[in-house]
Every structure is written in structure tokens, then in C-alpha cells.
Chain A
């Protein structure tokens, strides 16, 4: 691709033709504040926070929608730019709950971040405020449109990343909000609960229920791993606080899934903390199939199994024993299970649910 030369904040740089000012700046390490722009989505320029000054242009331009041009001289932090950004943040704050001390997004909220960076503590504007009921009717996430800044990232994520179109902008002016058709609950929409909208939300408007009251963002430890459901093998991050999983997210980009997940990867991990988990070894006390057991120690359970396996093997031969390994377990566990079958028991009666 052809390279063109331009100047950003006094520095000469080369950028690919066709890239936006925002991307070109980012490539040279200059971050331009933005709210509605998101990678992998068409840029709309609607939040206007990413405005920059281009020499020769009368008005400030939105850097996410303006392509670079040869010889452009750009200033991303002039006084005029900073004042414009401050006004935008002030306007947004004038209709925002400002309950950062209890908000689950605090610490990872873009609005909070830019308010801090621009030193906007309060709003000069005093106008009407929304008071929407918080929608919590689906099991996975809450939608608190009082915190919505109408950036439209969720709409774009739903439409362009998940190809669903469960939500869009509804109404005009002050009544504009993100909604499903006829503003029905998500459960009655085409929504597939992939959580892509939650991932894309820059504020606390869309929030996983599992995060509510589960710890502050700065307490979260992130462990990159792989989804445990299907063979796609999406790369996920398990977020934990004090040894409990509080949410899962896709790795932001790259890997197998390039920032996408389905409902199982995003929300289906919570079986891990199910009260139904087996907690100790068990020994059957009732009839087969009845489900009556008593707890046992590992020592006792393993001793019984070792004895029984040895006894069966010596009375009836190794092929009277059959073992099922698991397509849910790790490679290492499958390796050991077949090794156990072949080397310890002495049978090739080893299989798993591959065919089902």
C-alpha cells in the first residue's frame, strides 16, 4: 500500500493511504480519545470526542472518519481541541448518574478515564436527566440505560460482529435510546446472548450480572485460557477475584476467535461454581441407579478401585475391563488415561465420545 507523509503534533510520520487520522496517530503511539470508535466496526464519528485540528481546515474534524492525506499537518491536543473535548465530556456527564464509587465499571470506564484526563469534575450544563428502569430480565447481563452515552458501539457489535441486529437506536432527540424492536426484553428479541454488546460498552450501561458486587475492577486477575465447550476452541480470559470467577471475556483480538464468543464461552463458565459439583469421593450405599452414596476419603476410594481393577484383571483378564476417556479433559489427561489402560491394565478397551 502506498505510504504518505504527514505531520502529527510536529512529528513527521509515514502512514498507509486510506487509514484514518486516529489509526495513523495510534500507530505512532499517539492516543486520541474516542468513545464511539471501535476496532472492527465502521467508524461513525458520532461522539465527536476524537476531534483534531487540521491546518487549513476551518472546523475541527473527527479523526476516526477522516482519512490521512499527503502533507496534512495535524494537532491532536491544541487548546481548541481540548476545549471541544471538555465540552463533550461535560455534556455527557450532565446526564450521567455519577455513581462511580459503586459502579462496576469504575476503573475500566472510558467516560471516567477521559473525564479524569481532561480534568472535568462536574458539568456546567444542567438539564433534564433520564430515569430509565434498569432492565435485568435476562439471566446474563443488566442494561442500565441511565449510564448509556449513545455511542452505538453495542449496536455495531451486534450487527457487524455477530450479524444479529437485536438492538438499534430507537426514538429521536432526548428520547433516543438503544432498544430492541418495540423495546421488548432481549429474551423476546433475536438476541443470542453472545455478550458482544457488553464487551463493547465503554461505560457501565451493560454489565454482566456475575460482576455485580463481586469486586472492583482493579481487584480482577485475568487468566488467559480456552473455552471448555465446543471444538472451535475460542481464546477466553477468566476474570477472578479472590479465587472466584467473576466473568469471562474473549481475548480482545487475534487468536482463534478474534474477539468473538458465543453465549457458552461468554456466560456458560458458571457451572464451575455450581453447588452440584462433586466435593469428595463417594461410595455407593443404595441400589445402582438410585443415586445414594456416602462420602469417602481419597485414600479409601482409590484403594477400593485399585483392588477391584487388580482383582478383575487377574480373574477375567485385562479385556474384561473397559475405560472411557474424555473429550472434555485435557490432552495430558487423555494421554495418561490411555497409558493407564494399555500399560497398567493391559487392554486396548479405551475410547471416548468422539463418535457422538
Chain B
């Protein structure tokens, strides 16, 4: 997030797109509701489904799934035509505006209305509200990124915030809501194939040199494989051995039958986790890790805030904290990692990743710190891009609307979209081991509209079979009016209804994020 969670509530206009906030980031949703109810903030929600946030919205843009780029470009078109741009910001802080204009001019309200299904007047209202507000934040999540055109969507949003100057100041910015508790931190720490800790490219000789000196070894300079590419390589026999810590790819990855076959194909698989899970079943060796309650460490939340987690209980049974497992294994392989407490590991990381330079356990005792935090005097950064962007001037990059990779046809006439619900988390490997959460939400239902239910001849509680070009699954029906008739929704937490058997692993070519939000399916009632 460019801004802090507490700034959302101070913003005049909040624009939520591709985020089912009340289910996936519940406490941020409360911040938004409070802003709308008690502080006079205006709310725009763009979502195909009638999610709870739409109840609080001043304007609900019910777009067709996968048409986000067209919508965003359309808003820009109106803002530019009606002279609602921030001329000073564009002149002083950006470049490439002329190129942007060339593309945006084609996204007239009429044509965008046609693509997205949103009335042109609603587009105008939203564009004016967003552009005319003194401060405005955009919140987005996987609904924007999990598309073949996901990177394009994010760039389009960046164009929008720059053209209106809604970035680089308090309560104005572009806020991706990160999913997992420490997905931000895992990225920051370089658990990515192309960057070392602190987003320093592996291909940069000076960067590598610094790490080589600190670690005392030569480091590879070519970027590695992403998760989905790893699975492809395992199937092809190029990756022979995998070591999977704390992840459940057999359940959460798109096209998960292929993941299972990839894991089977490996010569050797290590799985380190707190539960065996689906992935663990394919392992040659399983190592028991300790949970968050059993160890010290830090998590970094979606607003870049590094916070302490603290050991509350002893490691369960013979489990060990993941960090201590890695140090043991490393020394067995002849490389010493002489850490006896996570604070020492943070010290090393802070010395190598400039954005974490000022993070230390002593400082974290009195509360979290938001990176960039470059030295021990640096109070941290509440919002990014004040005065200038990381690269200097912000560059407008025109993006064209790109239709979804697969579209509905006669054989697969309904669009399936996937996501999470409030009571579970990800592959359910953790939340479903919570007896209470499992009881309150025991199974993954497919949510369908009454009209579609009528066509299928089914009522809430009936079983249906869902078919996609890749597979089929069974699921129980829940009828509600959240989705329009042509769209069905299903959470991906449940291995009994593994919805990712249906989804495609077509990738966004840049960010390598699979298209999980759109999958044409066909439904049939089963007796």
C-alpha cells in the first residue's frame, strides 16, 4: 500500500475495485465503513457481485468480469475530457502523458459502457467524484491482479492516480490489499526468483557483490522460476527436487490436478509445515514446523508495517520453528548459519536491505515500523512517493483493454469466479483445523443467482456438477442475489470441492499471476 490503514478513514473518497474487502480484509472494511458512516467519506465500489461493501457505496459500478481495464480507461477518458486532471502534478511529476492521451481517447463513455455494462452516467458520476475529491484512495486486491491482463489493470490504476494527482500525499494513493499475513514480508525478504532482500535485482552485479561479501559465496545471477513455472518444470523433469515450506500448492494453485502430477513426478520432495495437508502427502520427508504462537519473529502487514510476533507457548510436540530448521539443515550441508534468535537474523537482513535498514527488535518493542525505514533515526514511512517517485518521474504507460483469455460459449455458458470468504483462509489448511471456523462454515458452496437456479431446477442445498475445459467438481448450491445470473462464485478453501481443478493457469505475461477470477463453466444439477 502506498498509504497507511489509518489514512483510509481520513480520505474524502474511497474507491474499491476488485476487493471483497469485508470478507478478505475485514478490519480494513471497518475502517471504510466508519469513514462512510461517521466521517462523510464517499465510496465508489466496482464489482460484478453485490458484495457487502456495495451496501455502503455512493456509487456501485457493476462491471462485467474482466473488463476492469476498460472501466479504468473510461474513467480517465471522462476526467480528461472534462478537464478534471491535476495539471500541476502531470507537469511536475510525470512523463508520457501525450502517449496516454492517444490511447485513452478511444475509451469514450459509450464504448466503455458497452464493454463493461455500466451505464455511461454512472461512469461520469464516479469519474467526477473521484477526480474532484481533495483526497482519494484506491483499494484493490486479487480481483484486479488475477487476470491475464492483471498487470495492465494495475498500470491503468496508476495512470488514474497520477492524472488526478491522487498519490504521494496523506490519504491519497493506490493501495493493494495484500492477502496472506506476511506476503508483504516474504516479498520484502526476497522470497522471489528475481530479487534479493529489499527488491534488489539478482542480475545487478553491485547488489550481488554486496550479498556475496556478506554471505561468503558466489551467487547465481539469472532469475529463477516462479511457482507456476516450477510446477511446469517439475512435470517436464527439469526440476528434480523441491523443498516446500509452509505452503499448500496442491490445493491453492490453479489447475491443481497438474500440480499433483508435478509433485508426483519429482525425485524428492520435502514438505515443512504445521499440518500434513494435501501437499504433504506427496512428500518423501515431512518436517513439523511451529506455529506463529510458538516463536518470535516479525510479520510485515499490507501497509508495510513490520511488527513483532512473540512466543506465547512452547513448540507443540517435537515441532521446531522454521528458522531453526533451516539453520540446522544448512550446517549439515556445510554452510554455517550461526543464529540463535530471530533478532540476529533481522539484524543481518536490515544490514543488507536498505528499506529495512532501521528495523531492529529494540525499536519494534514500542510498536511497528513502516518501511522504507533506512536507519535507526528514521521514523519510517506512512505514505510513499511524497515529492517524487522511486524512479524520479512517474511514467504514464497506456494500456489497452484485453478481453479475458477464455470467454463463455455454448458449451461453457457461465463465468465462474473464485475467492475467499470471511471464515476461512486460503487452502483452508489452517482455518479448517480451527474447530469453530470449520463448524460455522463447513463446506464450499457455489453461490448462484435465483434466475440461474430456476434454469438449473435447483434449490439451496442441492448438489451441482461444475465443468470446465480442465475438469469437473461437485458442490452444494447456495442461492443468493450477490451474483448476476451469468456469474457464479466459489471459495477455494475446500479440498472436497477443489475449485482450482477448474481454473486455468493461463498467466499474466508480466506478473506471472494466473487468471483465477474468470473461468467459463457449465453447471448441471445432480440428484
- Chain A interfacial positions (CB closer than 8 Å to B): 138-140, 161-163, 187, 192-194, 209, 221, 223-235, 238, 240, 243-245, 255-257, 260-265, 267-274, 276-284, 288-291, 293, 296, 298, 301-306, 308-310, 312, 316, 318-344, 346-356
B404 adjacent to chain A (CB < 8 Å): no
B322 adjacent to chain A (CB < 8 Å): yes
Q: Which residues of A contact B28 (CB under 8 A)?
A: 232
Given A226-B181, A233-B181, A351-B191: A332 touches B246 (CB 8 Å cut-off): no
CB-based contact B332/A306 at 8 Å: yes
CB-based contact A327/B311 at 8 Å: no
Q: Which residues of B contact A350 (CB under 8 A)?
A: 190-193, 224
8 residue pairs, one from A and one from B, having the closest CB atoms: A233-B301, A326-B246, A330-B297, A348-B224, A262-B26, A327-B180, A279-B317, A278-B288
* Least CB distance, A72 to chain B, in whole angstroms: 28
Given A245-B313, A281-B287, A356-B516: A322 touches B234 (CB 8 Å cut-off): yes
Q: Which residues of A contact B219 (CB under 8 A)?
A: 342-343, 346
Which B-chain residue is minimally distant from A233 (CB atoms)? B301
CB-based contact B307/A226 at 8 Å: yes
Q: Which residues of B contact A269 (CB under 8 A)?
A: 293, 434
Which A-chain residue is minimally distant from B440 (CB atoms)? A139
Stretch at the interface among B110-118, B265-273, B380-388, B461-469: B265-273
B389 adjacent to chain A (CB < 8 Å): no
Q: Which residues of A contact B360 (CB under 8 A)?
A: none
Given A223-B310, A288-B282, A305-B329: A355 touches B511 (CB 8 Å cut-off): yes
Beyond the given pairs A340-B329, A353-B426, 19 more chain A to chain B contacts, judged by CB atoms under 8 angstroms and listed by A's residue number, are: A233-B307, A271-B433, A278-B319, A281-B288, A284-B284, A288-B263, A298-B318, A302-B325, A310-B333, A312-B268, A324-B243, A326-B191, A327-B181, A332-B345, A336-B323, A344-B333, A354-B187, A355-B514, A356-B426
Q: Which residues of B contact A326 (CB under 8 A)?
A: 182, 186, 191, 245-247, 322
The A-B contact count (CB < 8 A) is 471
B33 adjacent to chain A (CB < 8 Å): yes
Say which residue of B180, B197, B321 sits within 8 Å of A231 (CB atoms). Answer: B180
Q: Which residues of A contact B194 (CB under 8 A)?
A: 348
CB-based contact A301/B425 at 8 Å: no
* Interface class of chain A by DSSP: mixed
Q: Which residues of B contact A240 (CB under 8 A)?
A: 312-313
Q: Mark B229-261, 1 if CB is under 8 A from A, else 0.
A: 010011000111111111101001110000010
Which B-chain residue is minimally distant from A312 (CB atoms)? B241
B101 adjacent to chain A (CB < 8 Å): no
CB-based contact B342/A270 at 8 Å: no
CB-based contact B274/A278 at 8 Å: yes
Subset of 16 A-B contacts with CB under 8 Å: A224-B310, A225-B292, A225-B309, A233-B368, A262-B27, A267-B437, A302-B325, A309-B243, A330-B323, A332-B346, A338-B197, A346-B217, A347-B224, A351-B227, A355-B228, A356-B516
Q: Mark B393-424, 1 if CB is under 8 A from A, else 0.
A: 00000000000000000000000000000110
A62 to B426, CA, bound (A): 49
CB-based contact A279/B316 at 8 Å: yes
Which A-chain residue is minimally distant from B436 (CB atoms)? A139
B171 adjacent to chain A (CB < 8 Å): no
Say which residue of B191, B242, B253, B332 sits within 8 Å of A302 (CB atoms). Answer: B332
Centre residue among B178, B286, B312, B431 by max chain A CB count within 10 A? B312
Q: Which residues of A contact B179 (CB under 8 A)?
A: 230-231, 327, 356
Which A-chain residue is minimally distant from B30 (CB atoms)? A260
Q: Which residues of B contact A268 (CB under 8 A)?
A: 425, 430-431, 434, 436-437
Q: Which residues of A contact B323 (CB under 8 A)?
A: 330, 332-333, 336
Which B-chain residue is minimally distant from A346 (CB atoms)? B220
B125 adjacent to chain A (CB < 8 Å): no
Q: Which residues of A contact B357 (CB under 8 A)?
A: none
CB-based contact A277/B312 at 8 Å: no
A7 to B270, CA, bound (A): 70
B326 adjacent to chain A (CB < 8 Å): yes
Say which residue of A289, A304, A342, A346 sits within 8 Å of B264 (CB atoms). Answer: A289
CB-based contact B318/A280 at 8 Å: yes
A290 to B435, CA, bound (A): 25
CB-based contact B514/A349 at 8 Å: no
B185 adjacent to chain A (CB < 8 Å): yes
CB-based contact B281/A291 at 8 Å: yes
Say which residue of B225, B246, B268 sits within 8 Å of A329 (CB atoms). Answer: B246
Q: Which residues of A contact B33 (CB under 8 A)?
A: 163
Say which residue of B146, B185, B317, B368 sits within 8 Å of A330 (CB atoms). Answer: B185
CB-based contact A277/B181 at 8 Å: no
A344 to B327, CA, bound (A): 11
A228 to B335, CA, bound (A): 31
B349 adjacent to chain A (CB < 8 Å): yes
CB-based contact B189/A331 at 8 Å: yes
A230 to B182, CA, bound (A): 8
A330 to B434, CA, bound (A): 21
B291 adjacent to chain A (CB < 8 Å): yes
CB-based contact A320/B239 at 8 Å: yes
* Least CB distance, B86 to chain A, in whole angstroms: 30
Given A139-B439, A312-B268, A325-B186: A243 touches B239 (CB 8 Å cut-off): no
B501 adjacent to chain A (CB < 8 Å): no
Q: Which residues of A contact B288 (CB under 8 A)?
A: 277-281
A280 to B272, CA, bound (A): 11
B305 adjacent to chain A (CB < 8 Å): yes
CB-based contact B335/A352 at 8 Å: no
Which B-chain residue is minimally distant from A339 (CB atoms)? B215
B177 adjacent to chain A (CB < 8 Å): yes
B161 adjacent to chain A (CB < 8 Å): no
Say which residue of A243, A301, A305, A353 sits within 8 Å of B313 (CB atoms). Answer: A243
* Least CB distance, B499 to chain A, in whole angstroms: 13
Q: Which residues of B contact A194 (CB under 8 A)?
A: 26
A140 to B440, CA, bound (A): 9
* Least CB distance, A270 to chain B, in whole angstroms: 5
CB-based contact A163/B330 at 8 Å: no
Q: Which residues of A contact B322 (CB under 8 A)?
A: 326, 329-330, 333, 336-337
B306 adjacent to chain A (CB < 8 Å): yes
CB-based contact A353/B183 at 8 Å: yes
CB-based contact A267/B436 at 8 Å: yes
CB-based contact A333/B297 at 8 Å: yes
CB-based contact B226/A138 at 8 Å: no
CB-based contact A342/B434 at 8 Å: no
CB-based contact A230/B422 at 8 Å: no
Q: Which residues of A contact B287 (CB under 8 A)?
A: 278, 281, 301, 305
CB-based contact A347/B220 at 8 Å: yes
Given A233-B307, A328-B182, A330-B298: A257 touches B225 (CB 8 Å cut-off): no
Q: Which residues of A contact B146 (CB under 8 A)?
A: 356
A336 to B185, CA, bound (A): 13
Q: Mark B159-193, 1 if CB is under 8 A from A, else 0.
A: 00000000000000000011111111111111111
* Least CB distance, A267 to chain B, in whole angstroms: 5
Q: Which residues of B contact A349 (CB under 8 A)?
A: 193, 224-225, 230, 239
Q: Mark B504-527, 1 if CB is under 8 A from A, else 0.
A: 000000011110100000000000
Given A139-B440, A278-B275, A281-B285: A231 touches B326 (CB 8 Å cut-off): no
Which A-chain residue is minimally distant from B254 (CB atoms)? A356
A162 to B234, CA, bound (A): 46
A230 to B302, CA, bound (A): 9
CB-based contact A262/B316 at 8 Å: no
Q: Which residues of B contact A243 (CB under 8 A)?
A: 313-314
Q: Which residues of B contact A193 (CB under 8 A)?
A: 436, 440
A163 to B368, CA, bound (A): 27
CB-based contact A264/B437 at 8 Å: yes
Which A-chain residue is minimally distant from B341 (CB atoms)? A332
Q: Which residues of A contact B25 (CB under 8 A)?
A: 230-232
Q: Which residues of B contact A337 (CB under 8 A)?
A: 191, 245, 322, 326
